[in-house]
């Protein structure tokens, strides 16, 4: 609202602000019960034909007579919209989404015109109308980034996409169709659903353009990884896997011959010995960022010992950022790891590059009866606090529960 404040300084500043359309090109709204359409209309009119970035969110408190007028205004300015985000599920508790939850009525359009639209993100309640969103995307010749909770190849053009994030499970055959039609994809985020199928090429699908992948799947991750190769991938994030496809993941890394910079595991059921196996793969030789959070079983003593610098060869010697969430380990092992990677007081053989210094560490412990208290890890806390000083170049992010 800084732009509105400029209008209140004096008459001259108000004139400058009103006649400068670039000051009115970003609008982010959280809709509730109070109508906003009057001043939203004024705001958007002042942007004139300047490319605008529009966002609206709402939750269970919002009323349809507040949501729909704003949607109509957004639609009327589609001709100069560059980015559009609509989140009708801006809530943490999905269980409250029921028949009484507010749905938006998207007006019908005879002919959508969206020559500048390149970024679209839409997350709507079930049973919402998608006609306007679909028409807007199909009218865009330059749509490059799409986030959606509902997807169909008939709805959304994918040829020019570089980023695609689908929020709901997608059948494996649809994932393969997307990859085959969107040759320029660089970042993908999929929940790969069944049934398990073979890609249309009948062989491994190679996508050299992809650099970042975020994947989850109830039971089909291994079958999907068996059929793809991403030589250019540098960032891999895996979420919510019940059965870790260890051999298939290792084969995927070998087949891709990729060089990872970031590797993250969230809520994955994977033994720490298999995490170590991933880190020992040559694809992780130049890894800079590692996240292991909420994984089962939570035991991590062997992992911490593996990552601790002892002597050359140094494991994952390029790591500068580490995050461990809800791990179980012996007291002192985390501090030893951090000290070894921050002080780098290790002997480096002649001709060998010194290992990277740790720049950021984030952590939390889960220790049953003690929860995440200081008392269960006194040595870790005391030694980490000694490293966490204003002069230190190491960023330590402490568990929120003990701050």
pLDDT tens digits for the chain (403 residues)?
Answer: 556 666 666 777 677 777 888 888 999 999 988 887 788 898 898 899 999 999 999 988 888 888 989 998 999 999 999 999 999 988 777 777 777 787 887 776 667 889 999 999 999 988 888 888 888 999 999 999 999 999 999 889 999 999 999 999 999 999 999 999 999 999 999 999 999 898 877 789 999 999 999 999 989 999 999 999 999 999 999 999 999 999 999 999 999 999 999 999 999 999 999 999 999 999 999 999 999 999 999 999 999 999 999 888 899 999 999 999 999 999 999 999 999 999 867 778 888 888 999 999 999 998 665 555 556 788 998 999 888 876 678 999 988 755 4
Task: Tell me the C-alpha distance between 84 and 71, whole Å.
Answer: 11
CA dist 16 to 19, 31, 49, 122, 248, Å?
A: 5, 29, 17, 34, 61
Q: What is the pLDDT of residue 377?
A: 87
Question: Looking at residue 400, what is its pLDDT?
Answer: 74
**CA 246 to chain CA centroid, nearest Å:** 23
pTM listed for this prediction: 0.91
Beta bridge partner(s), residue 303: none
DSSP secondary structure code for residue 282 in this structure: G
Question: Which residues does residue 363 pair with via DSSP β-bridges, in sequence order?
Answer: 324
Q: How many residues make up the chain in this entry?
A: 403
- E runs forming strands in 88-223: 119-123, 145-148, 163-166, 170-171, 187-193, 205-206, 212-216
Q: How far is CA 367 from the centre of its chain?
A: 28
Question: What pLDDT is stored for residue 6 in this prediction?
Answer: 64
CA distances to 27, 63, 72, 94, 328 from 33, rounded to whole Å, are 18, 6, 17, 20, 46
Burial 172-209 (b: 16+ CB within 10 A, else e): bbbbbbbbeebeebbbbbbbbbeebbebeeeeebebeb
For the chain, the domains span 26-90+112-168, 174-258, 279-403
Of 195, 193, 159, nearest to 179 by C-alpha is 159
| Predicted local distance difference test score (pLDDT) of residue 401 | 58
């Amino acid at each position: 609202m800084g732009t509105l404040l400029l209008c209140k300084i004096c008459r001259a500043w108000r004139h400058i602000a009103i006649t400068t359309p670039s000051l009115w090109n970003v609008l982010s709204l959280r809709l509730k019960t109070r109508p906003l359409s009057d001043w939203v209309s004024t705001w958007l009119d002042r942007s004139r034909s300047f490319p605008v970035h529009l966002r609206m969110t709402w939750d269970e408190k919002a009323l349809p007579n507040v949501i729909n007028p704003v949607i109509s205004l957004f639609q009327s300015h589609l001709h100069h919209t560059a980015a559009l985000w609509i989140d009708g599920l801006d809530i943490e508790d999905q269980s409250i989404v029921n028949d009484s939850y507010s749905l938006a009525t998207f007006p019908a359009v005879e002919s959508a015109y969206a020559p500048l639209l390149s970024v679209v993100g839409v997350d709507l309640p079930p049973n919402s109308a998608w006609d306007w969103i679909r028409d807007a995307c199909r009218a865009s010749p330059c749509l490059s980034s799409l986030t959606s909770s509902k997807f169909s190849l008939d709805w959304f053009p994918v040829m020019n996409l570089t980023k695609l994030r689908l929020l709901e499970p997608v059948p494996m055959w649809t994932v393969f169709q997307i990859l085959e039609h969107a040759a320029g994809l660089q970042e993908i985020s999929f929940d790969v659903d069944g049934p398990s199928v073979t890609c249309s090429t009948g062989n491994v699908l190679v996508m050299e353009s992809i650099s970042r992948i975020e994947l989850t799947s109830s039971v089909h991750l291994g079958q999907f990884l068996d059929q793809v190769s991403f030589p250019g991938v540098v960032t891999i994030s895996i979420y919510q896997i019940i059965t870790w496809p260890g051999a298939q993941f290792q084969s995927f890394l070998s087949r891709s011959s990729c060089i990872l910079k970031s590797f993250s595991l969230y809520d994955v059921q994977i033994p720490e010995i298999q995490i170590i196996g991933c880190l020992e793969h040559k694809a992780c030789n130049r890894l800079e960022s590692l996240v292991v959070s909420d994984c089962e079983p939570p035991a991590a003593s062997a992992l911490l010992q593996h990552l601790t610098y002892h002597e050359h060869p140094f494991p994952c010697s390029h790591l500068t950022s580490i995050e461990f969430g809800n791990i179980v380990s012996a007291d002192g092992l985390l501090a030893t790891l951090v000290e070894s990677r921050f002080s780098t007081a290790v002997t480096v053989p002649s001709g060998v590059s010194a290992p990277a210094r740790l720049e950021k560490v984030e952590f939390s412990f889960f220790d049953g009866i003690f929860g995440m208290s200081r008392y269960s890890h006194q040595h870790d806390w005391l030694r980490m606090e000694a490293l966490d000083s204003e002069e230190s170049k190491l960023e330590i992010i402490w568990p929120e529960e003990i701050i």
